[in-house]
Structure 1
Amino acid sequence: MKIKVFADTICGWCFIGQTRLNKALKAFPETKFDIEHIPFQLNTDMPKEGIDRSKYLEIKFGGKEFAQPMYDQMTNEAKKENLNFDLDKIKKTPNTVFSHLLIELAQKTNLQNEIKEKIYQSYFIDGLDIGSKEILINIGKEFNINANVINDFFNLKNIENINSYISVAREKEINGVPFLEIGTDFVSGAQSSTNLEGIIRSNLS
């Protein structure tokens, strides 16, 4: 069964949604799932080097105090999935193109799910700059992906390919993530694993 997951690596709700999807999939041990991770960029105009976190919160929300209620809610939802977000560790909001490229590269060895999860953890729990080539290369090396292979993959042609998905999302009128295509159903937001299980079941019957 094919499942398409539109998500961004700096989207906390995407991390929560991915965790819930993984939980839902365990209810179908006999079913083979083909999970395609489709890159989505929340900040299409983000500078390549990213921006200081406090400046980002100022631009996006008018300051940290205005973002805090939403982040508190997200952190509480994450706890329900045993994810201990530590947003205060985040010092920079990165450009996510290279992180999407690493996930795409990982699909060649069927490690995309594990790598994506590690990128989420690195950002939301460890506060690392997942826009940094060095940090992403280290993540790849943990999964036995050669550093030179990763570096070579981070080329202009592949960057343009990631950016081409911006128009794909627009054509599908996807304005927020996570967004899932499960069989014939479209699912928006970090739905509960019970809901996702029901949607998967209805598409299998």
Structure 2
Amino acid sequence: MTVPVTIDVVSDAVCPWCYVGRARLKKALEAVPEISVNLRWRPFQLDPTIPPEGKSRRDYLTDKFGDEARIRQMHEQLGTIGEAEGISFDFDAIALSPNTLNAHRVIRWAATAEPGVQDRLVGRLFALYFEEGADIGDATVLIQAAKEAGMDAAVVETLLATDADRTEVEQEIATAQQMGVTGVPCFLLEGRYAVVGAQEPATLADAIRQVAQAKADGTLDNGQA
């Protein structure tokens, strides 16, 4: 099928389910090789109130969930799910819960680079945070991740030192909230159909097929996908 499908993934770089969602999306895309997909990552902040310097991960989780036994259970569940998707979660390595606004700025800039760079950057940031315990709110970490993804590190370093695109990212997040996005990941197909949560690859693949077919048939705007 030659009709391309645009998928906007609304996500936060510190959302473990978004990391799982990315892995499952990749499996879904492998299941529909006949469909050309334009993948774009969009910003969301699970907690924009975290200060720029970050907050102790232990304190953050305790404030949010209260019960350490509950937190441990959640991490064990995610660990098992992640393992099935090729993700090695290491929650004990995470010392800091960062503010992700700057990470989203860099992800935004990556969209203007070569195809695939933005997705590689998103994947690298997930791995840095969830598997290596890195502080992805730190400019040095972000610049290195951008370089590894194929971006111009000098340009990223220069832009990060300014307020470039800060307002634009905040507006994108506000737009997502106005559209009704309250949790991530959220996969928006052709800007019309939303698949919410880290759904199984088969579910995502089926949604992509349906939207691609409706687009090819010219029925997408009629709400028949």
Q: Identity rate of aligned residues, in percent?
A: 32
Q: Distance in 1 between matches of 2:90 and 2:21?
A: 18
| Residue of structure 2 equivalent to 1:42 | 46
| Residue of structure 1 equivalent to 2:221 | none
* TM-score, L = length of structure 2: 0.86
Counterpart selection for 1:7 from 1, 8, 11: 11
Q: Which runs of 4+ in 1 moved over 4 A?
A: none
Write the mapping of 1:64-79 to structure 2, written as runs, cut at 5 A.
64-79=68-83
Write the mapping of 1:1-205 to structure 2, written as runs, cut at 5 A.
1-109=5-113, 110=115, 111-154=117-160, 155-183=162-190, 184-205=192-213
CA contact (8 A) 1:106 1:115 kept: yes
Where does structure 1 lack aligned partners over 5 or more consecutive residues?
Answer: none
Aligned residue type for 1:149: V
Q: Distance in 2 between matches of 1:64 and 1:152?
A: 41
Where does structure 2 lack aligned partners over 5 or more consecutive residues?
Answer: 214-225
1:71 positional shift: 2.1
SS at match of 1:42: coil
| Residue of structure 1 equivalent to 2:219 | none
CA contact (8 A) 1:8 1:96 kept: yes
* TM-score, L = length of structure 1: 0.94
SS at match of 2:74: helix
Q: What CA RMSD, in Å, does the superposition of the two structures yield over aligned residues? A: 1.4
> Which deviates further from its counterpart, 149-158 or 71-80?
149-158
Q: Distance in 1 between matches of 2:125 and 2:68?
A: 23
SS at match of 2:210: helix
Aligned residue type for 1:171: Q
> Which deviates further from its counterpart, 158-167 or 37-46?
158-167
> Which deviates further from its counterpart, 97-106 or 8-17?
97-106
CA contact (8 A) 1:54 1:64 kept: no
Question: Which of the two has higher C-alpha Rg?
Answer: 2
Q: Deviations over 1:39-94 (max 9, x none)?
A: 00000111011101111112111153332222221221111111110110000000
Aligned residue type for 2:183: G
Q: Distance in 1 between matches of 2:180 and 2:71?
A: 25
> Which deviates further from its counterpart, 106-115 or 63-72?
63-72
SS at match of 2:168: helix
